[in-house]
Amino acid sequence: MYGFLIAVGTLLLLSIIWMVYRIQTLVSVVKGSDKKIASGSNKINALMFVFFLIGATILMFWYSIKEFDNYQLPIASEHGVITDQLFWVTMAVTGVVFIITHILLFWFPYKYQWKEDRVATFYPDNNKLEVLWTIVPAIVLTFLVIGGWRAWSDITAPAPENSHVVEILGYQFAWEVRYPGMDNTLGEHDYRLTSATNVSGVDFTDKNSLDDFMSPVVVIPKGEPVLFKIRARDVLHSVFAPHMRLKMDAVPGMPTRFWFTPTKTTEEMRRETGNDEFVYEIACTEICGRGHNAMRKEIRVVEPDEFRKWMSEQKPYIVNNPSLVEGLPADLKELAEITISEHK
Amino acid sequence: MATASVASHSDAAHDHHDHEHHDNFITKYIFSTDHKMIGKQFLVTGIFWAIIGGLLSLIFRLQLGFPDMSLEWLRPILGGWITPDGALDPEFYLALVTMHGTIMVFFVLTAGLSGTFSNFLIPLQIGARDMASGFMNMLSYWFFFVSGVIMFISLFIETGPAGGGWVVYPPLSALEQAIPGSGLGMTLWLIAMTFFIASSLLGGINYITTVINLRTKGMSFSRLPLTIWAFFLTAVIGLLSFPVLFSAALLLVFDRSFGTSFYLSDIYIGGEALPNTGGSPVLYQHLFWFLGHPEVYIVLLPALGITSEVIATNARKPIFGYKAMIISMLGITILSFVVWAHHMFVSGMNPFLGSIFMFLTLIIAIPSAVKVFNYLTTLWRGNLIFTPGMLFSIGLVSFFISGGLTGIFLGNSAIDIQLHDTYFVVAHFHLVMGSASFFGLMAGVYHWFPKMFGRMMDARLGYIHFWATFIGVYLVFFPMHYIGIAGFPRRYYSWTGFEFTNMYTDLNLFVSVAAILTFAAQLIFLFNFFYSMYKGRVATLNPWRSNTLEWTTPLHPQHGNWPGEIPSVYRWPYDYSKPGAAEDYIPQTVPLSATPESNLPHEQELVKLEKEIIADEEAVLVANESTNS
Ligand code: HEM
Ligand SMILES: [Cu+2]
Ligand SMILES: [Cu+2]
């Protein structure tokens, strides 16, 4: 049915094109305009550029202003304020260039459209101008780059000592979140230890892993530095937390990291946006297969006190699943049992 | 060097001057070694692929714009890729995106653009009888053809074509367990690309040799049209970067088939830990983008070259800053090799490298800016004729500005953290690379159609085609900036899974409708192209009153291009509206000594030198006459 409609539509379109074509060739032969250098259409085309300029400018400003709150996501991290500022400074600079060059590009065709009695100006070069418009963009770009470079250096600098560590492991098609527990040190891992009960491949012969625990949500404190340690276990993924202005690929065989300081709790953000259901999210931005568009994880930003309370309430892997430590050597097993009993 | 080969060529031409060419259908239209026919073969094949690539994008735009629509009616073509409830299969969505990107970048804008115009124009504009090696040139087309056949077949196999994005990053592209497209589909992709690389190299070597060795008398590098400069530099970029893509692909083949670990390490997939350790997926990204970034300029430079030529001709004015244009193209050529890692700011590579590549990237913006200002100044105080070619060239400049400016955001690593792999990137590269190059291709077709087929395309249909496409492209790609800033990730089958992307359904619908209409507008072009080929108005010899050499050939140049001597060249190609001259153009073949009224002071000095050349030439002519009789 649809196929039929499309076929009919296409046929119709083609015949219209053909008819328009026939009519206008006949007309232009009668008028003799096919012999002229520039026919009446030249004027219309010249005018069209001006119309396009005006129409497009109005549309662009109208939509950009109307939609501002929709596409400008609220910022929830310290560095995000800086990168967004860079973004808008760049927008201002390039916006001015964009508008000026386009005014010239579309106004010149109107102004200098073909006239029988005019001759174009023979103006092959002017080195002063070339130098000018090499140096001015160079200077402007230098300012933009230096701003970007300083921000980038700060963002990628080593995480502060007191950062809260969270491990995020990407796999087809979900994220696994591991916390280091009270020692703030993640236990070793080995991809060969991966199993249905040990998604992150935690190595429990490392005593740092005994208090490690997983969480279905990424819970982090407001106002304190957080370090995401990022891994992947099958293909590339990429951790993207849009409100945190955070993105970093997850690479099998090569751990990556990104640290940041959240500035607003989920509650605060709910109040600010007037949306009671607001949540921070993590999405995947590196193509990874069938479920690429469904790798969702929630981030919950809470007050530091609440975070500490939450941390102390979590149960390590080995408490939830004591079979994980069954094969351990005696000394470790003892430690493990102590941990387990502490959490009972 | 150049003189010697010209002389020997003209002898050869004289030899078979009198007897007929014995071209049969096969040697004339299929296994042709005539650069003009090969150029047309590339063009028609490129158009074919553009239709396929465009249709693929319409299918996934349907998914994005109308997520709830039943695609049952596509089942006759797509079969099992339509799920039982009438939706598109998510894995097939990824395959569509991948094939769309691969086809558009390589088959349409590399082969369709460089292949068509380098082949068609280089010998005609430098004054040569053919490419340096007609046979290699023919091979170049047929390797491309085979590559296309293999890629086409991969669309129809049961596990589907490659689905890891056009960049085919491993491990996704290396592991069949990860996505079905990484099975046979990926193998075919790799084979097809190998043929494609071979084709590009054969073509590129030919273009370079021809430009260096076969220029006609007087055609110094400082008199080459900017088209030729652009094709020449494009070929150099291709020659240096495609082999790196080949090595990346080869290592991927090893990892896929022979158990090596160049790109694979610490992988647990499908309930099983793989033995590979020590490889690095990031290594692949470095190798890929070492081609990938220059590739952007491989598709863009020829378009810019064509634009320079078309704008100068139709502004009836010399291109402003001929030397500055060449220097900026040289700058772009060199810099294009040292910016690749700006695609990898958040790939996990050392952030210090990120800083370096940010600086290098923003340097490459400068020659691009210079080119834009030069185009604008060329339009200034011109006497503009809006042929369809001219319209498309002005459109190209607009896209080049719009897309180029967003590059300044993306080249800034701090800003790129948020924008990387969002629709902002999709908007950026579709404008600066996709649409700009596509418009260059269109400008070239409209402008040189009379030389290709001896007939004119219809101008008015050309205007309609231009305005529909120009407005359409902006309606399709400009809104993508907004959803990109809002953080919508690319290569997403659906956006309903997240709070932050669960909006803009109206905008996506709008974009899809605009895409369908823009695609439909291309039918006008197709009609115009094929209809005019047979029924168009017969062209005059120099319909745009242009200066370059190709317009001195007969209406239907035979193999060998000029029936008699190859004309010599006495001036640069941009003597438009020269003060004192009778006409507003002076072809390159008009000696300076014939135009004392319009010569500039420094040209007046060249006149003496020129007289000697002319004397030489007459001697050759006389000698030829006597041997012939
Ligand atoms: C009919 C016009 C076109 C439309 C509507 C269109 C639309 C799109 C869209 C929406 C995507 C992103 C899909 C996704 O990420 O899920 C895409 C990807 C892409 N397009 Fe186009 N496009 C068009 C023409 C072109 C042209 C002329 C080029 C040539 C450069 C091109 C090159 C690409 C590339 C390289 C990708 C990336 C593929 C990937 O992610 O692996 N497209 N296109
Ligand atoms: Cu993913
Ligand atoms: Cu690049």
| DSSP states of B275-288 | S--S--HHHHHHHH
Q: Are B184 and B159 in contact (CB under 8 A)?
A: yes
Give percent helix, percent strand, percent coil of chain A, each to the nearest 5: 50, 20, 30
Q: How many Å apart are CA B448 and CA B389, to the nearest integer?
A: 9
Query: A115: helix, coil or strand?
Result: coil
The encoded tokens of residue A209 equal 């892993």
**Which of A149, A248, A286 has its CB closest to that of B358?**
A149
Say if residue A225 is preceded by a cis peptide, omega within 30 of 0: no
How many other C-beta atoms are found inside a 10 Å radius of the C-beta of residue B66? 15
* Secondary structure element (H or E) that encloses residue A147, with its range: helix A127-156
- pLDDT tens across A155-190, in order? 999 999 999 999 999 999 999 999 998 888 999 999
**B625 pLDDT higher than 80:** no
pLDDT in tens, B335-355: 999 999 999 999 999 999 999
Residue B54, ligand 1, Cβ within 6 A: yes
Share of chain A above pLDDT 90, in %: 69
Mean pLDDT, chain B, integer: 91
Say how many Å lie between the CA of residue B383 and the centre of ligand 1. Answer: 37
Q: Are residues A281 and B421, on separate chains, in Cβ contact within 8 Å?
A: no
B295 φ, ψ (degrees, to nearest 5) = -55, -35
Chain B, nearest residue to A3 by Cα: B73
How far is C-alpha A17 from the geometric centre of its chain's CA atoms? 43
B1 pLDDT band, cuts 50/70/90, is: very low
User: What spacing in Å lies between the alpha carbon of B407 and ligand 3's midpoint?
Assistant: 9
Residue pLDDT, tens place only, A255-313: 999 999 999 999 999 999 999 999 999 999 999 999 999 999 999 999 999 999 999 89
> Which of A47-56, A135-144, B8-17 shows the lowest per-residue confidence on average (mean pLDDT)?
B8-17
Strands A280-284 and A237-241: antiparallel
pLDDT for res B244: 95
Q: What is the mean pLDDT of residues A241-262?
A: 95
- Is B389:A121 a contact under the CB 8 Å cutoff? no
Q: CA A328, A329, A335 angle in degrees (round to 5)?
A: 80
Mean pLDDT of B474-482: 96
Helix (H) or strand (E) holding A283: strand A280-284
pLDDT of B12? 41
Closest ligand (CA of A238): 2
Q: Chain B partners of A90 at a C-beta cutoff of 8 Å?
A: 408-409, 412, 415
CATH code: domain B2-535 is: 1.20.210.10
Tokens encoding B522: 């291309």
- pLDDT per position as a tens digit, B445-468: 999 999 999 999 999 999 999 999
Q: What is the pTM of this model?
A: 0.92
pLDDT at B48 > cutoff 50: yes
As separate numbers, helices (DSSP H) first and strands (DSSP E) second, chain B gives 19, 2
Q: Which residues, by Cβ under 5 Å, contact ligand 2, an ion?
A: A 237, 284, 288, 292
CA distance B162 to B179: 9
pLDDT mean across residues, chain A? 90
The string over B230-254, giving b where at least 16 C-beta atoms fall within 10 Å of a residue's C-beta and e elsewhere, is bbbbbbbbbbbbbebbbebbebbbe
A297 touches chain B (CB under 8 A): no
Instruction: Give yes or no for residue B165 CB within 6 A of ligand 1.
Output: yes
pLDDT at site B613:
74
Q: Which of B12, B34, B245 is nearest to B130 (CA)?
A: B34
- Indicate the Cα dihedral angle B251, B257, B260, B265, nearest 10°: 90
- Where helices occur in B430-579 by DSSP H, the ranges are 436-453, 459-485, 505-535
Sign of torsion over alpha carbons A257, A263, A266, A271: negative
Structural contact between residues B383 and A42, judged by C-beta atoms closer than 8 angstroms: no
**Rounded distance between C-alpha atoms, residue B195 and residue B147, angstroms:** 5
Pair B372, A107: CB distance under 8 Å: no
User: What structural domains and CATH numbers belong to chain A?
Assistant: 164-343 (2.60.40.420)
- Least trusted range by pLDDT, from A206-220, B8-22, B113-127, B270-284: B8-22
Q: How far apart are CA B455 and CA A25, in angstroms?
A: 14
* Predicted local distance difference test score (pLDDT) of residue B627: 64
Does residue B28 line the site of ligand 1, with CB under 6 A? no
Report the candidate in A258, B541, B293 with the shortest Cα–Cα distance to residue B301.
B293
pLDDT digits (tens, 9 = 90+) for B381-432: 999 999 999 999 999 999 999 999 999 999 999 999 999 999 999 999 999 9
A110 touches chain B (CB under 8 A): no
In whole angstroms, what is the distance from residue B420 CA to residue B487 CA?
A: 9
Average pLDDT over residues A63-79: 94
* pLDDT score, position A15: 74
As a whole number, mean pLDDT of residues A6-12 equals: 73
At a CB cut-off of 8 Å and minimum separation 6, what does A52 contact? A106, B470, B471
Across A315-322, average pLDDT:
87
Query: Alpha-carbon distance A259 to A166, whole Å?
Result: 10
Residue B90 sits at the vertex; the CA angle it makes with B84 and B94, to the nearest 5 degrees, is 140
pLDDT at B118: 95
Both tokens assigned to A213:
């625990």
Q: What are the tokens at A105?
A: 């590009």
Does A85 lie at the interface with B, CB-CB under 8 angstroms?
Answer: no
Distance from CA of A224 to the nearest CA of B (A): 21
At B547, give phi and psi (nearest 5°). -95, -20
Q: CA–CA distance from B324 to each of A124, B372, B525 (Å)?
A: 11, 11, 34
Residue in chain B lying closest to A277 (CA):
B499
| Residue B175: CA count within 13 A, CB half-sphere | 26
Asked, as a colleague might, if the bond just before A98 is cis with ω within 30 of 0, I would say no
* A160-163 contact pairs (CB < 8 A, 24+): A160/A225, A160/A259, A162/A224, A162/A225, A163/A224, A163/A225, A163/A226, A163/A227, A163/A259
What is the distance between the alpha carbons of residues A286 and B98, in angstroms, rounded to a whole number?
A: 14
Query: Is the Cβ atom of B93 under 6 angstroms away from ligand 1?
Result: no
Residue with tokens 């500005």: B401
What pLDDT is stored for residue A32 in this prediction?
60
pLDDT at B3: 38
Ligand 1 within 6 A of CB of B104: yes
- Evaluated on CA atoms B549, B554, B556, B560, the torsion sign reads negative
| SS3 state at A225 | coil
CA dihedral in degrees (B345, B349, B353, B354; nearest 10)? 10
- For residue A10, how many C-alpha atoms fall within 13 Å in the half-sphere facing its CB? 13
**Chain centroid offset of residue A96 CA:** 25
Q: Which chain A positions have a beta carbon within 8 Å of B414's beta carbon?
A: 82-83, 86, 147-149, 151-152, 155
Mean pLDDT of B487-498: 93
- The ranges assigned to domains in chain B are 2-535, 560-628
Instruction: Answer whether residue B140 shows pLDDT above 60.
Output: yes
Q: Residue B580: CB partners within 8 Å, gap ≥ 6?
A: B597, B598
Amino acid B84: pLDDT? 86
Which pLDDT tens digit goes with each residue over A92-121?
999 999 999 999 999 999 999 998 888 888
A194, A201 contact by CB (below 8 A): yes
pLDDT in the model for residue A257: 95
Q: Is B175 exposed, middle or buried (0-12, 13-18, 19+ CB in 10 A)?
A: buried
Nearest Cα of chain B lies from the Cα of A344 at a distance, in angstroms, of: 32
A130 in B contact zone (CB under 8 Å): yes
The proportion of chain B whose per-residue pLDDT surpasses 90, expressed as a percent, equals 79
Q: Which residues of A39-60 are buried (b: 16+ CB within 10 A; e: fewer)?
A: bebbeebbebbeebbeebeeeb
For residues B323 and B320, what is the distance between their CA atoms, to the nearest angstrom? 9
Amino acid identity, position A329: P
Mutate to test the interface with B, among A18, A51, A66, A235 (most CBs of B within 10 A): A235
In angstroms, how far is CA A217 from the centroid of its own chain? 21
Residue ranges of A 53-72 with Cβ closer than 8 A to chain B: 56, 60, 63-64, 67, 70-72
Distance from CA of A271 to the nearest CA of B (A): 16
Give B447's contacts (C-beta < 8 A, 6+ positions apart): B306, B309, B310, B313, B387, B389, B544
Chain-centroid distance of CA A44 in Å reads 42
Amino acid at B200: S
Which of B582, B423, B434 is CA-nearest to residue B507? Answer: B423
Any chain A CB within 8 A of the CB of B487?
A: yes
Question: Cα of A98 to ligand 3 centre, how many Å?
Answer: 21
In this prediction, residue B617 carries a pLDDT of 73
Q: Which residues of chain A make contact with B504, given a CB cutoff of 8 A?
A: 70
Residue B549 near residue B570, CB atoms below 8 Å = no
Pairing label, strands A218-221, A297-302? parallel
Name the residue at shortest CA distance from atom 2 of ligand 1.
B54
The yes-or-no verdict on residue B143 having pLDDT over 80 is yes
- Residues facing residue A240 across a β-bridge: A247, A283
Structure tokens at B351: 């952030």
Closest CB from A39, A156, A234 relative to B269: A234
One DSSP character per residue, B516-558 reads HHHHHHHHHHHHHHHHHHHHSPBPPSSTT---SGGGGS-SS--
Q: How far apart are CA B88 and CA B56, in angstroms?
A: 12
Kindly state the DSSP code that residue B91 receives in the 8-state scheme: H
Least confident of A27-36, A125-134, A235-244, B583-592: A27-36
Query: For ligand 1, is residue B591 a contact (CB within 6 Å)?
Result: no
Q: Confidence band (pLDDT; 50, 70, 90) for B369?
A: very high
B298 φψ region: left (φ > 0), alpha (ψ -120 to 50), beta (else): alpha
The pLDDT score that the predictor gives to residue B533 is 93
Closest ligand 1 atom to Cα of B58: 5
**Of B324, B316, B248, whose CA–CA distance to B547 is shortest?**
B316
